[in-house]
Structure formats: structure tokens, C-alpha cells
Amino acid sequence: MNIPIKMIGIATTIFWVFLIAFSVSAAFSAKDIQFNFGDPQTGMTADNELFFSLPIAIANRGFYSIGDFNVTSKASDMNGNEIARGASFVSIIRPGEEITMFHNITLDINEILQGDRNYLFNDTDLRIHEAVGLSLATIIPVQASGNFTLPWGAPLYNFMLGNPTYSPYNATHFRVNVPISFENHAFFDLTGSLQIHMYNDRNTRIGDGQTNIETAQHTGYNGNIEFYISIVNAITPGTSPEGHFDVYLFSPLFNYGPWVIPYG
């Protein structure tokens, strides 16, 4: 009986030594894993979606391989509705290996604006959930996650159409001038075309105007749209001109409209 018991003792001791040595060396080598985050790049995909690309450099200077390295990002609005998601994955990073991966997130602004037009006109915050996971020595899963808020700048912040001014153009038409102003608080440049349809108080469309806009991020825009309307349709005799504009914005990133703005 003594020999089998001793053998159990010896085997247990050997396994304990292996387990402790492996655990200690895995924990020790974890400190030799280095992560470096590069400058995020933004651009547009072929589908006219905005993308962020974050370069992540991983240097594994530890003793063991890193398995299942993954980064997941989720952006949601303040009500918790998901608006964008991105995930990146590297199956294995061997000891001594240095790799650079790109963590990409695409943002369909058109879809976001369909859900809530406030993103177009009001600055707000987005909730970002970031999770980074890996398997130390390919068998010990480790995950770090955090929640952050990211300010969202409205591309048409404080958008205003001024009161139209009329000047005679010829015997049958007025020239109408409508001032436009807004501030582009977004992190992207806003280019595109702004169209307005003018309706009189009888809800008859009396004129259309269009202007191209090109506003760099974090700058303001002041301009105007000029177009011509028939004298006959413009004003109900004996009243001041009033009605509404239908405003449309067409840009490579998103289209929006109609947005009804009364005048007069």
C-alpha cells in the first residue's frame, strides 16, 4: 500500500510544480505583451459609409502564444440603441511576433439619421462599449472592457433659413434670396447639395433653389440660395408673403429631407 500512496504523492507534487511554474511564467510573461494604438483614420467606404480605422500594434515578447485576440466596439445612442459595431480578430500571435491589425468600424449616417434626426441638428453624446479579449498562453481567457462617451457633433448645428427677400427680376418674376447658415460640428467635412422648394400660403409650390455646400469640420457656413418665382403665384393679393420651405440635403454620406421650415 505504501508504494502506490508514495507514487500518488510524487505524481501530485510533480503536477503541482508544473502547474505553479506554468501559472507563474504565464503571469510573468503577460507583462511583456505590449499594445500600441496608432492615430485613428477616417474615410468613406464604397457604399458611402463612414469608417474609422484604428491601427493596433501588438508585440508579444512573452514566453507563450496569445490566442484569439479580439477587439469589439459598439456605439449606441443615449437610449441604448445600437448604431454601429465593429469587430477585429487575430487567431494567434506567437512569442516574439509583432503584428499590426486594423480595427474598423463603419457608420451608416443615413441609417442613423433615419432613426433620429437630432443627430443632424443637435450635439449629443454616443455611448461606446469597447472590449478587448485574448487567451494568455492560448488557454487562459482574459477580457478587458470599458464604457466611454464620445461627443457627437451635429453637421447642421443651428441650421437657419432667413426670411426670403424679394427683388423684381422681370415683368413676370421675382428674384428670391434666402440666407442660410449653420455650423458643422461633425468630425467629417460636409459636402453636397442643398435644395429648397418654396410653397406659398395656398400650399402651391412656387419655386425651387439649390446651392452646393462645402463645409470643413468644425467650421461655420453662411450663404444664400437664389431662385425665381412667378409674381402670380407668389403672393395672395392683400397679404404678406408667407408659406413654407421644404429643405433637402444631398451629400455623399447621407440624404435628408424634406424638412419643413415656415417663412413669413
Partner 1 sequence: MDDKTKSSRRSFRDFAFKALKAAIKAIIVYVAYFFVWSFLSPLSELIPGIQQMMETFVIVYIVLMILGDLTSGTIYQHFFSAAKALFVIGYLMLSLNGGLFGITFENISLMIDLRVFMLIAMILGLLGLAKSVLQAIDFMNQKAELPLR
What does the alpha-carbon distance between residue 103 and residue 73 come to, in Å, rounded to a whole number? 9
Is 151 an interacting residue with respect to partner 1 (CB under 8 A)?
no
- Distance in angstroms (rounded) separating the CA atoms of residues 113 and 250: 13
Query: What's the rounded Cα separation, in Å, for the pair 158 and 170?
Result: 35
> Least separation, in Å, of the C-beta of 129 and partner 1?
10
**Cell numbers placing 39:** 492615430
Question: In whole angstroms, how close is the CB of 20 to partner 1 at the nearest point?
Answer: 7
CB of 130 to partner 1, least distance (A): 9
> Cα–Cα distance between 103 and 101 in angstroms, integer?
6
261 bridge partner residues: 245
The answer to whether residue 237 forms part of the interface with partner 1 (CB under 8 A) is no
- In angstroms and rounded to an integer, the radius of gyration of the C-alpha atoms of the chain is 30
- Part in contact with partner 1 (CB under 8 A); list of ranges 21-29, 56-64, 73-81, 219-227: 21-29
User: Residue 114, interface with partner 1 (CB under 8 A)?
Assistant: no
Does 140 help bind partner 1 (rule: CB under 8 A)?
Answer: yes
Q: Is 35 in the site for partner 1 (CB under 8 A)?
A: no
44 part of the interface to partner 1, by CB under 8 A: no
CB of 32 to partner 1, least distance (A): 10
Q: Is 15 in the site for partner 1 (CB under 8 A)?
A: yes
Residue 121, classed as helix, strand or coil, is helix
**Interface with partner 1, residue 78, by CB under 8 A:** no
Candidate list 34, 147, 172, 219; residue touching partner 1; CB under 8 A = 147
**C-alpha dihedral sign at 59, 61, 67, 72:** negative
Q: Check residue 143 for interaction with partner 1 (CB under 8 A).
A: yes
Residues 6+ apart with CB under 8 A from 196: 161, 178, 208, 209, 210, 225, 227, 245, 246, 247, 248
Q: Using CA of residue 111, residue 115, residue 119, residue 121, what is the dihedral sign?
A: positive
Of the candidates 34, 114, 145, 158, which one interacts with partner 1 according to CB under 8 A?
Answer: 145
Answer whether 207's CB lies under 8 Å from 263's CB. no
Distance in Å, CB of 2 to partner 1, minimum: 7
| Strand pairing category for 98-107 and 157-161 | unpaired
Site residue total, partner 1 (CB under 8 A): 28
Least spacing, CB of residue 197 vs partner 1, in Å: 47
Instruction: Select the residue interacting with partner 1 from 80, 146, 237, 238 (CB under 8 A).
Output: 146
With respect to partner 1, which residue has the nearer C-beta, 25 or 110?
25
Using CB under 8 A, list all residues that contact partner 1: 1-2, 4-5, 8-9, 11-12, 15-16, 19-20, 23-25, 27-28, 31, 139-148
